[in-house]
Amino acid sequence: MSFRLKMIMGIACVEAVFLLAILMSSLAVLTRSEHQALATRAGNDARLFGTAAADALISEDLSSLRRITRAVVHTRGVVYAAAWDGSDRLLAAAGRGYHRRNTTAVYAIRIDGVPYGKVAVWLSDHGFGAVLAAARARIVAIALGELLLVGLVSWLLGSYLMRQIARIEAGTARIARGEFGFLLPVSGGDELARMVAGFNAMSIKLQELQAEADRRYQETQALNEKLEGRVQERTLALATANRELEYLAMHDPLTSLPNRILLQDRLAQAIRAARRAPAPFALMVMDLDGFKDVNDTLGHAAGDLLLQETAMRVTKTLRQSDTAARLGGDEFALLLPTVAGPVDAEAVARKLLRAVEEPVSVGGQTVQVTASLGVALFPVHGDDVGDLLRRADRAMYEAKRGRLGLAIFKKDMEDEGDDRLRLQGDLQRAIANGELILYYQPKIDLASGKISGAEALVRWQHPTLGLLAPDRFIPLAERTRLIGPLTFYVVRAAARQARAWRDAGRPLAIAVNISAINLEDAQFADHVAQILQDVGVDPDMIECEVTETALMRDPDLARKTIEALSKIGVRVSIDDFGTGYSSMTYLRKLAVAAVKIDKSFVIDMGVSRNDTVIVRSVIDLGHNLGLKVIGEGVENAETMAALTSLGCDFAQGYHLTRPLDAEAFDAWRRTHS
């Protein structure tokens, strides 16, 4: 059904409902009016009937009463009439009887208030029904005429409205086909006309948008062509970059050697190949000795040149089937997929060490470094990547620790490595729980023969391993950065002992050893000052001993730390003097109070003339710089006499006594005062 027909039918239905309501209301009003008129007439007729029949009723003249009753029935509209006496006895009646739809009127006859009877008439609405039927017919005719008129008006109104809507519908179809920019005719100024005008505006806007979209499409096409060209270029560039990244991911950028990732891959391949056709192969881990000194002394650029030269020498020494890799820092790994056994592997390892230890010219200076190399063999020492790398590294560590140059893995090395791991975890707890104790070794003034001080030497009373010497845990502390807390623990314990001796009336200065790592701590002197203040000891009762090698690790920072210690009143002496590479100019700038000649020179004075010359030179040098000189490692009376004759100021060694705990030291001191 079209919208036009729907609109016409809707209007017609609404009009019909309204017309029907009006007509039905009119009929109801007409019916009520007729009934009211009929009731009024019935009342009047009954009253006239009663007046005419009163005498006959009183006199009981029944013939007259019947004549009057019949006369009443012949009146228009009356269909029945009746009269009763005072006892409700029917006396006369005429007509067709009565019907429930007839209108009834009763009139009582009274004289002086005494009832003598009553009369009643019944009027029919038959005539009124014909009138109502005629009225209904007229109303229906009027309604049909009205409906025709409404239909005509609705048709004309729908035609007017649908002209505009039809235009919009046609325009919508054209837009759906992609036609833009057309204009529909606009007539009138009502809402539909404004809707058509808005539709025209939309058509123009769509045409503009279509033109803009076409322009953008052309631009996009051109851009796509350019992008396709760029994508091809970038694809080629990315392929090249990926190859470069893959190379960088698998190789060390400094030496161009394979890195740890590529080494592990090749090691895994070697393991798979050896399992298919059982054959041994060797994995070596090599670390340069003293590389940090080169870095610190000559700079990182020189260190990089040394690493590059080492990589080149290693590569030249190995076979083409072997793999040399840089694991990081100054650590290298070497994979030999075909070796006959330990003897063959050792021969290759020694050849590598000889090549690496050849002097190298870097930064305008000739440098000679040594290397430590550990070997692990498949499948004897491990059958997976992790085990072989770890055990070759353990062997290298043992070679470095024992200054062996080369070591092939043994089972006890792994046990020692596990012990180191356990000790690392225990050491922090030991510092917190006070398991470290101090032993003391006296220093003798050679001129007077009196005790001039003592050196504090730390020991670890381990709950399961017993009393451990410093060489078991000091290197571990330096590697794990526990050396700071450990050193402060020793300083505090030494300060407490110095205060105890002072309070007992026998004051004695105590020397403690500090590490190179302590010298690199800018707050080290402040921490020492705070400890001395907390314990209540004068700074001159504590002396710090630092090795010559530690001084040269970072000379500038070491000098600043020594100056800071001197400012708070703590004396500093150089330990193991003669084993390092410090220059006279550098020594002159240091705020130190004494130098301690390394025991390796003092012990051999009696059998080596050269050592005696070195000791004499150090004593003279120290005195010329205004420093006191201490000879350590004195193990017999002859050595002490020789030091005395050379003018040495103080002596220390087993000839006097071995290190003692505080109680034993006090007992020894009482017998040697």
The structural domains of the chain, ordered by start, are 3-129 (3.30.450.20), 260-409 (3.30.70.270), 421-671 (3.20.20.450)
Q: Each residue of 242-265: pLDDT tens digit?
A: 777 777 778 899 999 999 999 999
**Bridge partners, residue 531, by sequence:** none
Q: Which of 572, 578, 605 is nearest to 590 (CA)?
A: 572
| Residue spans of alpha helices (H) in 179-190 | none
Q: Extract the runs of DSSP E, i.e. beta strands, from 86-188.
A: 90-95, 103-111, 114-123
CA atoms within 13 A on the CB side of 308: 11
Q: How far is CA 583 from CA 62, 126, 456, 548, in A?
A: 177, 154, 28, 11
Confidence (pLDDT) at 161 = 66
| Pairing mode of beta strands 406-408, 331-336 | unpaired
Task: Give the separation between CA 228 and CA 376, rounded to whole angstroms.
Answer: 55
Task: Give the separation between CA 483 and CA 486, rounded to whole angstroms.
Answer: 5
Task: Give the separation between CA 68 and CA 93, rounded to whole angstroms.
Answer: 10
Confidence (pLDDT) at 98 = 54
Task: Give the separation between CA 648 and CA 446, rounded to whole angstroms.
Answer: 7
Confidence (pLDDT) at 580 = 58
Buried b or exposed e, range 151-168, using 16+ CB within 10 angstroms: beebbeebeeebebbebe
pTM of the predicted model, to two decimals? 0.49
Q: Which of 512, 655, 633 is nearest to 672 (CA)?
A: 655
**638-640-646-648 Cα dihedral, nearest 10 degrees:** 170
Number of CB atoms found within 10 A of residue 119's CB: 30
**424-428-430-436 Cα dihedral, nearest 10 degrees:** 90
Number of CB atoms found within 10 A of residue 233's CB: 10
Q: Which two tokens stand for residue 655?
A: 């000839």
Q: Which residues of the chain have pLDDT under 50?
A: none
Task: Give the separation between CA 265 and CA 335, rounded to whole angstroms.
Answer: 11
Backbone angles phi and psi of 396, in degrees to 5: -65, -40
Classify 112 in phi/psi space as left (phi over 0), alpha (psi -120 to 50) or beta: left
Task: Give the separation between CA 320 and CA 301, rounded to whole angstroms.
Answer: 29
Which amino acid is residue 670, in one-letter code? R
Q: Extract the runs of DSSP E, i.e. beta strands, from 490-559.
A: 510-513, 542-547
Q: Which of 492, 491, 474 is nearest to 427 (CA)?
A: 474
DSSP code per residue over 459-500? EEEETTTEEE-HHHHHHHHHHHT-HHHHHHHHHHHHHHHHHH
